[in-house]
Structure 1
Amino acid sequence: MRSIIPVLLCGGSGTRLWPLSRQSYPKQFSKLVGEESLFQASAHRLSGDGLAAPVVVTSNDFRFIVTEQLAAIEQAASGILIEPEARNTAPAVLAAALWAEIEDPDALLLVAPSDHVIKDTADFRATVQAAIPAAEAGKLVTFGITPSRPETGYGYLELKDSAASDATSPQPLTRFVEKPDAERAAEMLSAGNFLWNAGIFLFSAKTIIAAYETHAPDILTQTRAAVDNAEKDLGFTRLAPEPWAQIEDISIDYAIMEKAENLSVMPYKGAWSDLGGWDAVWLESGPDDLGNVTSDHATAIDCKDTLLRSETPGQELVGIGLDDIIAVSMNDAVLVAHKSEAQRVKEAVSALKARNAPQATAFPIDHRPWGWFESLVIGDRFQVKRIHVHPGAALSLQSHHHRSEHWIVVQGTAKVTVDEDVQLVTENQSVYIPLGAVHRMENPGKVPMVLIEVQTGSYLGEDDIIRYEDVYSRGQGAKG
């Protein structure tokens, strides 16, 4: 039997789970529910018998996060496609289909967002198996979730009759329904023939490409050009930026699914959530008998139906006498909201952007292919960072125009290059990097290396960097 190719979409930058989800490190890479990130849980769910290694569609800034998180669960992608810029799901899905078509036009693709929660993996896989005959017969299969409440945050799929929602095979679709108001959502729940639109699809590469040829030929032309002119970069495939920039920013629902006549709906009765807000995280986290959910370093006293999360070790969050409250604490930002107002968190992000607050988009920990760093103290002409370098990893050979640096190793051993001098710096030793010096740090050991960096100078931005050599081929710019 032909293996299904999972296609994981993870280029989004959701704001409804701020401050934990931010543009530089969105929710799919965070551990919101359980011990794995949502991306890792999705990769696990879409692996196993009958499922090939996934194709991942992501952005340039997330490419090394993808490979690192897959490696942590002992997986690897068959392809990682880098979008030059975000253009929504229609071109992202098509790019994956065109990539798969090169090897096998009949390949079946299981397309899924990488930030959803489906706890019963076996049940979901069985549902996918039941949809395979329809996909092999040329249907575009979309998965619909049996609703458990009158939800206003999801789009819906209307089936021809209420009995179809309990079917164990794909069913005809009457129409797509936009996100309803509360009254209409209650009516649809009572009707019994409406399913939540999960944004999960199963089809062959040739079937979905043919659908674009019929309903979105301009998107097909430009996306094919972006794939045909893609460049290999280490283990990544960079889609060509010029044709990609000409593609309409549109979802696959609007571009294809709402127009296609060969669409079928596969009902899924199991639990599902897109974690579209902190209220959903509270629900999926399993509230206790009083309705409270608390993380490590969080304490609820005389509280009810409350979510308390401290995301910073050593920072204790305590709630007293709270009812229906969400409180999420990080070392650079705190969110406090009534649970009923959870969908308004994106308004806070907009307000912070208007004030040019870095917390609106920048995660306090900056992930890089060699490890990560975080700023501990920022002053007028100085900054103190903690830098974590993975075993065997190396930063680029670089220099700075506006700052000097002082490195103090606090864990492991660093191999340090400063101009022509190369030395090993061990724990509790330090080295000075003069302004303009060409330098690099490496971790030659088998354990993480951690150092404290003190920067001084007239400008301390991450874009003050010139790269001369880089094992990750990042080029110039703050992240390359």
Structure 2
Amino acid sequence: MHTILLCGGSGQRLWPLSGPVRSKMFLKLLPAPGGGTESMIERVCRQLENSSLSPSALFVAHEDQTSLVRRYTGNRYEVLGEPHKRGTFTAAALAAVYLYASRKAKPEDTICVAPADMYADDGFFQCFHQFTDILSASQAELVLLGTRPAHPSDQYGYILPEKPGGNTAYSPVLSFEEKPDSSKAGELIRSGALWNCGVFAFRLGFMLSHLEQMGLPAEPAAFTALYPGFPVRSFDKEIAERTRKAAVLRHEGEWRDLGSWDTLTARLQQTVTGPGGIWGNSGNTHIVNDLKLPMIVIGVPDIVAVGSPDGILIAGKQEANAIKDIVHPPSAEAGYGETAWGHYMVLDRTGNEGEVVLTVKLFLLPGHEMPEMPCLHSGKHWVILSGHGEVVLNGLAQAARSGDSFTVNGGDLHGIRAFAAMELLEIRRDDRTEEVAVYSS
């Protein structure tokens, strides 16, 4: 079996901590087994390894985030880049044709598609090992993973199975319902419906046949070349709801989509993350603060208070999802971003008479580097705040320690290597009225 992990999402529901530059799966907030915290993607990688699924795992991410995925997964997995975000079906199809063309998978092999940012117990991943047998025994084209609903939610899809019978671990699927209102969700639950966990298993040949019917190529380069013209297609709509014969495997343990502040804060170890405190009648309130300034909540229950360089959110937990309908700043103006070499924080933007001056604080991980590249701005100035490494300027390497400064002119080739963890200030000037993105991932 081959496991495809999809790293998608726009990062809207967990704003301001997540966004187009930093997806929710990279947020290091969840309690880790040995103490400290871990991100969703780190948790999933650990569970893949514990379930003996690591050797077959392939991650799919937008090409701007492939290096970031490699960093968070410890370079232990293959990562496939998408040129554009075109939905879960398109991402799964790209991975399928890649596995087929590279001869890593045969048409009769089982393919499992799952989100990379799910939250579940270890038993959830053990269920994956049953997919091949269920596909054979049920003669289904598609096997899904479902779990018992905790409440009538309008945030999840539902799978309505036939009444279970006999000794089989699976049930044939009668129908699907995508994010019904709470009233309809209650009716579905009373009828025995399951939450759709977004995990799908099928034979590779099934996907190849579907692509052939759509007139799409089964060769990665040709398929990728068509990406700009693809509409956004979800796997549920394109495959699951059109499949003639599907089966569902019930997972009885824990599963949650931590895609809202309400569900995410319920999994945190403490009510206050970062500088700040909660006092008075403030039951079920959480602070998640990525800023250095303290955030104080007094006498306000059932809210989430979130601070980051991209903004501040104060919202009732049940209403916080409305943030996805609010227009956010474009990613080029993000105040925080993660990269393959570390992360950065925008401290100040000043614009006058067509010139933009940007002040950024950069944090480089030990043993990482910003590769040499031409300066795309009018110029920039680096001041090393802490740590040590070397700056490479037009091919000449120079030692870089706390207190050192370097001037980079427009067009200069420049890069930096961190021998130990480094912090530096970058002050860049740009004559263009439209500045480029702060840093790519």
TM-score (norm 1): 0.80
Summarize the Cα distance change of 1:59–1:264 in structure 2 as closer, same or farther, 3 Å threshold.
Answer: same
DSSP-derived class of the 1:76 partner:
coil
Give me the whole-angstrom Cα distance separating, in 1, the residues matched to 2:70 and 2:126: 28
Give me the whole-angstrom Cα distance separating, in 1, the residues matched to 2:269 and 2:440: 38
- C-alpha contact (below 8 Å) 2:375/2:414 kept by paired residues: no
Is 1:42 the counterpart of 2:29 in the alignment? no
Summarize the Cα distance change of 1:373–1:274 in structure 2 as closer, same or farther, 3 Å threshold.
Answer: same
The corresponding residue for 1:256 is 239
1:8 aligned partner, one-letter code: L
Give me the whole-angstrom Cα distance separating, in 1, the residues matched to 2:249 and 2:275: 42
Summarize the Cα distance change of 1:402–1:198 in structure 2 as closer, same or farther, 3 Å threshold.
Answer: closer
2:67 aligned partner, one-letter code: F
Give me the whole-angstrom Cα distance separating, in 1, the residues matched to 2:388 and 2:273: 34
Post-superposition offset of 1:76:
1.4
1:87 aligned partner, one-letter code: R
Post-superposition offset of 1:158:
0.6
The corresponding residue for 2:147 is 145
Give me the whole-angstrom Cα distance separating, in 1, the residues matched to 2:267 and 2:310: 26
Give me the whole-angstrom Cα distance separating, in 2, the residues matched to 1:208 and 1:176: 20
Unaligned runs of 5+ in 1: 230-238, 288-292, 466-477
Q: 1:48-447 residue pairs with structure 2 within 5 A?
A: 48=50, 50-51=52-53, 52-71=55-74, 76-77=76-77, 79-101=78-100, 102-105=103-106, 106-118=108-120, 120-121=121-122, 123-137=123-137, 138-139=139-140, 140-161=142-163, 163=164, 169-191=169-191, 193-213=192-212, 217-218=213-214, 221-222=215-216, 224-225=218-219, 227-229=220-222, 240=224, 242-285=225-268, 293-302=271-280, 303-312=282-291, 314-348=292-326, 350=327, 352=328, 357-358=329-330, 363-380=334-351, 381-400=356-375, 402-419=377-394, 421-433=396-408, 435-436=409-410, 438-443=412-417, 445=419, 447=420
Summarize the Cα distance change of 1:167–1:327 in structure 2 as closer, same or farther, 3 Å threshold.
Answer: farther
Give me the whole-angstrom Cα distance separating, in 1, the residues matched to 2:364 and 2:432: 24
Give me the whole-angstrom Cα distance separating, in 1, the residues matched to 2:404 and 2:97: 53
Give me the whole-angstrom Cα distance separating, in 2, the residues matched to 1:461 and 1:248: 28
Post-superposition offset of 1:338:
1.6
2:422 aligned partner, one-letter code: M
Post-superposition offset of 1:197:
1.0
Give me the whole-angstrom Cα distance separating, in 2, the residues matched to 1:228 and 1:437: 33
2:285 aligned partner, one-letter code: T
1:258 aligned partner, one-letter code: E
- C-alpha contact (below 8 Å) 2:211/2:217 kept by paired residues: no
- C-alpha contact (below 8 Å) 1:53/1:76 kept by paired residues: no
DSSP-derived class of the 2:68 partner:
helix
DSSP-derived class of the 1:409 partner:
strand
**Residue 9 of structure 1 is aligned with which of 6, 11, 17?**
6
Summarize the Cα distance change of 1:417–1:99 in structure 2 as closer, same or farther, 3 Å threshold.
Answer: closer
Give me the whole-angstrom Cα distance separating, in 2, the residues matched to 1:155 and 1:418: 53
Summarize the Cα distance change of 1:461–1:42 in structure 2 as closer, same or farther, 3 Å threshold.
Answer: farther
- C-alpha contact (below 8 Å) 1:403/1:458 kept by paired residues: yes
- C-alpha contact (below 8 Å) 1:392/1:442 kept by paired residues: no
Summarize the Cα distance change of 1:168–1:44 in structure 2 as closer, same or farther, 3 Å threshold.
Answer: farther
DSSP-derived class of the 2:119 partner:
coil
1:334 aligned partner, one-letter code: I
Give me the whole-angstrom Cα distance separating, in 2, the residues matched to 1:311 and 1:464: 21
Post-superposition offset of 1:86:
1.2
- C-alpha contact (below 8 Å) 2:289/2:307 kept by paired residues: yes
Aligned-CA RMSD value? 2.7
2:313 aligned partner, one-letter code: L
- C-alpha contact (below 8 Å) 1:168/1:267 kept by paired residues: no
Give me the whole-angstrom Cα distance separating, in 2, the residues matched to 1:45 and 1:167: 28
Summarize the Cα distance change of 1:223–1:23 in structure 2 as closer, same or farther, 3 Å threshold.
Answer: farther
The answer to which structure has the higher strand fraction is 2
The corresponding residue for 2:431 is 458
Summarize the Cα distance change of 1:309–1:444 in structure 2 as closer, same or farther, 3 Å threshold.
Answer: closer
Summarize the Cα distance change of 1:421–1:152 in structure 2 as closer, same or farther, 3 Å threshold.
Answer: closer
DSSP-derived class of the 1:281 partner:
helix
- C-alpha contact (below 8 Å) 1:22/1:362 kept by paired residues: no
Structure 1 range deviating more: 62-71 or 129-138: 129-138
Give me the whole-angstrom Cα distance separating, in 1, the residues matched to 2:25 and 2:309: 20
Summarize the Cα distance change of 1:50–1:400 in structure 2 as closer, same or farther, 3 Å threshold.
Answer: closer
Summarize the Cα distance change of 1:151–1:430 in structure 2 as closer, same or farther, 3 Å threshold.
Answer: same
DSSP-derived class of the 2:256 partner:
coil
Summarize the Cα distance change of 1:103–1:253 in structure 2 as closer, same or farther, 3 Å threshold.
Answer: same
Give me the whole-angstrom Cα distance separating, in 2, the residues matched to 1:271 and 1:362: 38
1:104 aligned partner, one-letter code: A
1:67 aligned partner, one-letter code: R
Summarize the Cα distance change of 1:212–1:136 in structure 2 as closer, same or farther, 3 Å threshold.
Answer: farther
Summarize the Cα distance change of 1:361–1:196 in structure 2 as closer, same or farther, 3 Å threshold.
Answer: farther
- C-alpha contact (below 8 Å) 2:145/2:197 kept by paired residues: yes
Give me the whole-angstrom Cα distance separating, in 2, the residues matched to 1:168 and 1:44: 30
Post-superposition offset of 1:459:
4.3
1:306 aligned partner, one-letter code: T
- C-alpha contact (below 8 Å) 2:172/2:246 kept by paired residues: yes
1:259 aligned partner, one-letter code: R
Post-superposition offset of 1:401:
6.0
- C-alpha contact (below 8 Å) 1:389/1:442 kept by paired residues: no
Summarize the Cα distance change of 1:457–1:209 in structure 2 as closer, same or farther, 3 Å threshold.
Answer: closer
Unaligned runs of 5+ in 2: 32-36
Summarize the Cα distance change of 1:196–1:440 in structure 2 as closer, same or farther, 3 Å threshold.
Answer: same
Structure 1 range deviating more: 421-430 or 92-101: 421-430
1:222 aligned partner, one-letter code: L
Structure 1 range deviating more: 91-100 or 140-149: 91-100
Give me the whole-angstrom Cα distance separating, in 1, the residues matched to 2:290 and 2:308: 5
Give me the whole-angstrom Cα distance separating, in 2, the residues matched to 1:416 and 1:167: 66
